[in-house]
Chains A and B, each alone.
Chain A
């Protein structure tokens, strides 16, 4: 089937190129038939990419090692769950995922807008197909996932053990969904610029949900990556300002700025240049993010690719930047604002400030991420910037951002008066200050930045809570509903507003968690033998006993050997947790190593011992001292060396199992000391809970409106108008006619 997969990719590339020309030709010659054909090209690329991706997935699931990519990224010992995900651990598989997701999202947006955006859509189609053609050509000419081996190996290399984590199954598709979804508003912005429709409201309305979806999925991807880092990498943190982490954060920051500022354009016709620049920058940063993961130009624990794709990606990014700047300059007349800011005390002004902070953060992250390349170009010396450099600039900006997210919801559009502002800010500010004084008295003042974050976080939560409370009171006064029903109908009537408010609460919770866990964590790296203890903050960690196990795959072959420990954690005399940190050793296929050494000189991963709680996480990772096991490992290698060629592979595998089991039993009986990293960290769980609230709010905000209800209301209004002209009002239209007011759109 590899040849069919390859043919499908070539056809996808040809169809994408055809679609670009059909769309542009149709638009320029006013030929709707060609435009429709171009749109069909997108659907066709989606179908071809789906079929090709399915062929690749089947190869991974069935461990078909005739495919080079399967042989180098999977194995029969890789669990089925991870075999399905192994496809996108490879460079070619991840490019395939990019193409597939892009084609699916492109098809969705073009299907939904097939009866509108007649002028803009053909050019947007051409841009989306341009991306598809780019990734298609990478898959056809540079990195095909359908390369075959003339002599397939009996066993594959296996999935990188670091990636054998549930988050990693979902993390890349989420990130790539975010990146590819950002291509949609990018493409429509390009189309709007070309056709001078950039000030129009309909393309923004049609694509804003895709921008929100991109923000949503990219955010989930980033958080899953943080969670993976916290539980899998064994360093005790969730964010390290790693270049690849930063690469995903950049479009998320500018995308967040865009989904705020676009509301000002929708409502007031302002900030057109700013908005179009933001959406174009976000699209470019999404491509840059993909490039950073795959190019290997910056050192990162997350970068899994070589540098073979550097030239095509840099060319694409250069074309996108030059084209974007050229179009914005070319259409600057059409991008003039229709209105001016009425007052600095308005929601528009707060949104603008929020945008400036987000873009400043993006600039800091961009500068810090690319500093090694900039420094190398200027001085010839490659120097990286560490976490303290990023913290110095991003922490104050984050404080301002969180504060603004509490001010925005309680300030009116257009113009608020000082007395209204006083009334709305009084309770949240007073409660936040009281909390701050209480925390300062409790000793939190020793970390002033954390204290400020707690205060502004509390301000946000109270101000948004007040907004919900008042909204519910208004609904109850209007309808007499009981409070939960009033809350539901309040949110349902304006999902975008109240979903957004919930996002602000989630972000406040998340930043409180970040501030607390960063400022008040205690960590201790110590070597312990069984029976020994170490003190970390108020907690005592005791190494009770060693553990060991050998994992087999379904076919009986050995997947890994795991050495671990059981620890009890006590506070005072009370045991509060039992932790089981382990270290898993996966074999390498390096033929220069002995059969036993291969297990200990290959890849190793940490499974941390974690007791998570609302108030505090207790966290432990261990690294056994392998020097103590080395004599046994060497002896095993010697035995197998002496019998080399005399045993059948099956007998050798059985004997290896016996040797490793003996080694594991020896480790249990006489455990050597192990190095432990022990951490107590407050409010880490708030980060994950905050993230859940953020994504719940995002889901509410982007949930489709009840189009049928809108259609029914519109129909009823027309019926009422006809009846009015005829001098009588039909029963079904009475309510609408009687109100005489504009009908609210539930979903807006």
Chain B
């Protein structure tokens, strides 16, 4: 093995050790709690529910749902969305 190759490999090993051990040496990492995860999950559920409401509205406007069906469905979906918003507020 030539000297240059040896030095390159040693330098790479030192760099790897530095990069991997940095979070262990400096414990100030982003220690998010379980609440943050629940909020992320609720946010994802909220976005999915909003998507459903938008889809239902588009389905109605493009003639795939009748007025009566849409009114019923929209009311139900908005009630579900409000439940999610309440849960977000409870977490917040």
Contact = CB atoms under 8 A, between A and B. Distances in A.
Interface in B1-35: 1, 5, 8-9, 12-13, 16, 19-24, 27, 29-32, 34
Contacts of A37: 20-24
Interface residues of A, number: 54
B29 A36 contact: yes
Nearest to B26: A33
A287 B30 CA distance: 34
A44 B21 CA distance: 12
Contacts of A200: 41, 44
27 contacts: A1-B5, A4-B9, A11-B16, A22-B20, A32-B31, A33-B23, A37-B22, A116-B40, A118-B32, A119-B37, A200-B41, A202-B44, A204-B44, A205-B48, A412-B69, A413-B52, A415-B69, A416-B65, A417-B69, A419-B66, A420-B63, A423-B63, A471-B62, A494-B54, A742-B81, A744-B54, A748-B50
B27 A33 contact: yes
Contact of A44 (B20, B30, B62, B65): B20
Contacts of B81: 742
Given A15-B20, A267-B52, 7 more contacts: A7-B9, A11-B12, A18-B20, A40-B23, A201-B44, A410-B64, A417-B69
Contact of A745 (B36, B50, B62): B50
Nearest to A342: B73
Interface of A: 1, 3-4, 7-8, 11, 15, 18, 22, 32-34, 36-37, 40-41, 43-44, 48, 115-119, 200-202, 204-205, 266-267, 410-417, 419-420, 423-424, 467, 470-471, 474, 494, 497, 742-745, 748
Given A200-B44, A744-B50, A411 B64 contact: yes
B71 interface: no
B56 A413 contact: yes
Interface of B: 1, 5, 8-9, 12-13, 16, 19-24, 27, 29-32, 34, 36-37, 40-41, 43-45, 47-48, 50-56, 58-59, 61-66, 69, 73, 78, 81
B64 A267 contact: no
A205 B44 contact: yes
Contacts of B37: 116-119
A413 B50 contact: no
| Top-4 shortest CB links A-B | A201-B44, A202-B44, A36-B23, A412-B64
B16 A205 contact: no
B76 to A, nearest CB: 9
A41 B24 contact: no
Given A11-B12, A118-B32, A40 B20 contact: yes
Given A420-B66, A470-B62, A32 B44 contact: no
A414 B20 contact: no
Nearest to A22: B20
A202 B40 contact: yes
Contacts of B36: 118
A730 B32 CA distance: 32
B69 to A, nearest CB: 6
A375 B12 CA distance: 51
A425 B78 CA distance: 29
Contacts of A43: 19
Given A205-B44, A411-B64, A743 B50 contact: yes
A116 B39 CA distance: 10
A22 B50 CA distance: 38
A119 B32 CA distance: 10
B65 A420 contact: yes
Contact of B73 (A116, A414, A423): A414
Contacts of A267: 48, 51-52, 55
B13 A11 contact: yes
Most chain A CB atoms below 10 A, which of B8, B41, B69: B41
